[in-house]
């Protein structure tokens, strides 16, 4: 069976020889489809609406490779990764295929496995859980029903909300990671509101920033790095049980932190998602600006975030 594996993950497996600016801690696998995904999302390189080479997902190259080859290399390197993430595309039989990839991985190494998918029925979620998948990724992507319709997401916003509920019922509170993309044309309030909703449902947010890639049918507005820093801080506050509206004044442009934060703001800048998911340079080039820091080392090396945090009112040592 052919799959796609992110170039960084292949390098860790020793299957390609490329220089890595940051090492992925998760093995990222994407389902293979010649035409890509049957969905029409205007921000996604894998969608039917995109003319981008299907080797790309966001700005990362994912070469096609036989799963046998991946599993063989993984067997020699079980400690190389903290987790395996299996990402689906809409195509005939995609869920069964994802489950069989999960089984092959788990027969080889005892690793934690995430499955990122569009909505499927509850029975299939139970099957995934029984197969050993421990975390569910939900590609909601859009912050509101308005943006959801505008960017061509399949199904409805409400169906995704129900799916998140089912996911929490099956995988447990804290084990469902809802992907949200900042910069699709939403307001900051829409994004904050949906993040609050996600946490109130017992799920969590994995935050991405929109990246334009040539071949996409539209260029969406994107988000400036200062507004993104505010969202990262709001996400970490929610994660730790605090109310972001108490600490951040959202009436300002960009919003300003108005109270001493009860969290370490540095931690807010690290890639968010399942434990071990660091997605190096998934949404930005290594030359920056870096929106999601894939490691503490890079955070210590690249200090551009210090001025960014100061200019949104964060007291940085
Ligand atoms: S948060 Fe990361 S590991 Fe989890 S489903 Fe999303 S991409 Fe995969």
Q: What is the pLDDT of residues 47-78, one digit of tens each?
A: 999 999 999 888 889 999 999 999 999 999 99
The reply to whether ligand 1 has any atom less than 6 angstroms from the CB of 58 is no
Q: Which of 204, 239, 273 to mutate to test the pocket of ligand 1 (most atoms within 8 A of CB)?
A: 273
CA distance 209 to 256: 20
Residue 165 half-sphere exposure, CB side, CA atoms within 13 Å? Answer: 7
Residue 286's pLDDT is what?
72
The reply to whether ligand 1 has any atom less than 6 angstroms from the CB of 143 is no
Residue 28 CA, closest ligand 1 atom number: 8
Residue 179 CA, closest ligand 1 atom number: 6
**Nearest residue (CA) to ligand 1, atom 6:** 137
Q: What size, in residues, is the chain? A: 317
If you measure from the C-alpha of residue 177 to the centroid of ligand 1, how many angstroms do you get, rounded to a whole number?
7
Q: Between vectors from CA 200 to CA 153 and to CA 237, what angle results, nearest 5°? A: 100
CA distance 249 to 256: 5
Residue 224 half-sphere exposure, CB side, CA atoms within 13 Å? Answer: 8
CB atoms within 10 A of CB 67: 19
If you measure from the C-alpha of residue 258 to the centroid of ligand 1, how many angstroms do you get, rounded to a whole number?
32
**Residue tagged 């960009």 (tokens):** 254
Helix (H/G/I), strand (E/B), else coil: 6: coil
Asked whether the beta carbons of 303 and 290 are under 8 A apart, the reply is no
In CATH, the number for domain 2-311 is: 3.20.20
Q: What residue ranges do the domains of the chain occupy?
A: 2-311
Q: Which of 25, 62, 135 to mutate to test the pocket of ligand 1 (most atoms within 8 A of CB)?
A: 135
Residue 115 CA, closest ligand 1 atom number: 5
CA distances 266 to 26, 51, 212, 263, Å, are 21, 37, 26, 9
Please list, in sequence order, all residues whose beta carbon lies within 8 angstroms of the beta carbon of residue 230, skipping any fewer than 6 positions away: 188, 248, 254, 255, 257, 312
Residue-wise pLDDT tens digits, 166-225: 999 999 999 999 999 999 999 999 999 999 999 999 999 999 999 999 999 999 999 999
- Please tell me the pTM assigned to this model: 0.97
Asked whether the beta carbons of 133 and 69 are under 8 A apart, the reply is no
Residue-wise pLDDT tens digits, 89-131: 999 999 999 999 999 999 999 999 999 999 999 999 999 999 9
């Amino acid at each position: 069976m052919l799959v796609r594996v992110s170039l960084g993950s292949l390098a860790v497996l020793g299957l390609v020889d490329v220089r890595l600016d940051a090492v992925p801690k998760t093995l990222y696998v994407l389902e293979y489809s010649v035409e890509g995904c049957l969905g029409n999302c205007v921000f996604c390189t894998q969608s039917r609406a995109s003319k981008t080479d299907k080797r790309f997902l966001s700005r990362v190259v994912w070469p096609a490779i036989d799963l046998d080859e991946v599993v063989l290399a993984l067997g020699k390197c079980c400690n190389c990764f903290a987790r395996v993430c299996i990402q689906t595309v809409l195509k005939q039989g995609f869920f069964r295929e994802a489950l069989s990839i999960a089984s092959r991985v788990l027969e080889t190494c005892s690793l934690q496995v995430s499955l990122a998918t569009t909505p499927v029925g509850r029975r299939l979620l139970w099957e995934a859980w029984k197969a050993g998948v421990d975390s569910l990724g939900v590609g909601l992507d859009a912050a509101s029903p308005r943006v959801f319709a505008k960017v061509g997401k399949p199904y409805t916003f409400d169906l995704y909300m129900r799916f998140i509920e089912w996911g929490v019922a099956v995988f447990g509170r804290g084990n469902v990671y809802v992907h949200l993309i900042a910069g699709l044309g939403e307001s900051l309030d829409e994004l904050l509101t949906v993040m609050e909703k996600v946490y109130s449902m017992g799920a969590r947010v994995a935050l991405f920033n929109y990246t334009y890639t040539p071949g996409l049918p539209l260029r969406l507005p994107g988000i400036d790095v200062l507004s993104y820093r505010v969202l990262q801080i709001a996400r970490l506050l929610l994660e730790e049980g605090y109310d972001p509206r108490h600490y951040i004044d959202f009436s300002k442009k960009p919003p300003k932190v108005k109270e001493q934060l009860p969290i370490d703001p540095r931690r807010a800048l690290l890639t968010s998602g399942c434990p071990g998911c660091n997605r190096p340079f998934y949404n930005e080039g290594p030359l920056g600006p870096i929106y999601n820091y894939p490691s503490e080392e890079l955070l210590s090396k690249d200090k551009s975030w210090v001025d960014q945090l100061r200019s949104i009112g964060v007291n940085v040592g």
